[in-house]
Structure 1
Amino acid sequence: MSEEETDPEGDPPKKSKMPMIIGLVLALAGGGGGFYATWSGMILGGDHTAEAEEEHEETIDPFADIAFVEVDPMIISVKAQPNQRLLRFRAQLEVPKSHAEDVTKLLPRVVDVLNSYLRALELADLEDHAALTRLRAQMLRRVQVVTGKDRVNDFLIMEFVLT
């Protein structure tokens, strides 16, 4: 009978899970508070006055310093086996106003570079669906090399017709 009875002093008492729950709640609250503090800029937020000044400058007029220089229209023969095909091409250069006169002076060189590049293309190069984007990037790069650093911001194709 003594073996069948369990000794109440032999069972270890159950440990409370309350400290673990409290620790978990405090960890989540601390993590959330830390995230909010960095996200809102209270910690590591930088200088808010500089950001406000930059936003103010952007709202003035970001397009005030832009001028467009028109490239003379071109008609270029394209290498096509059975027939002679023509490419009618017209473009404009987006430049800062301070460099518009310089780029206008260099326009004959720009036309020469564009004419040389477009004459070297084959019909397959022009018929690809992504051709215009690729050609635009290539022509912009060539124009920037001819005109100099930071003188041409963008190359705008106004007309690109293959007849």
Structure 2
Amino acid sequence: MLSLTTEQRVKVEENMGLVGKVIGDCVHTLDKGCIYTYDDLFQIGCIGLCKASQTDRSGHENAFSTYAYCLIRNEIYTQLEYATRRSREQATDPAELPCGVLDDSLEERDACRELMGLLDRAEATATGTTAKGIRAIRMRIDGYSSKEIGQRLGAPANHVTAWISKARNHIRMMGQPGI
């Protein structure tokens, strides 16, 4: 349970609108069978806002809102990833997958096939850490965090992040002939 000082409570109350902004900016799965409602996500975001209030050392309101935005977003993303992973483990029918994991929209299925094809082509030409990065991207698509991917591949999370960055650059270069 989070215990806030009076000053921290005031800071949370003054920045409650930030939670709704984060949901609006960052969550695009509410209308696609997401396990969470807007109110659920708002509560999760409020936990992130309280954590930001407890750990803020900036002393400047603009810096706090930027810091709080990131913590709120991360708190929501963490819960969405957890729910997606849990649902995938429990789902026996692909139609049961939540949060836009599998959408009935033909455009989204085509985009997914295109992305997988791009990853296949990139993986065919990648070596070393770039190839590891492409594997990590596939695991990210499956809902794993960098920490979990690192545990599975025997590396720290920051290495996984670097591999993914390198793989993204490789994929960009594939799409840019002449560079």
Q: TM-score, normalised by structure 2?
A: 0.29
Larger Rg: 1
Highest RCO, 1 vs 2 (Cα 8 Å, sep ≥ 6): 1
Whose strand proportion is higher, 1 or 2? 1
Q: TM-score, normalised by structure 1?
A: 0.31
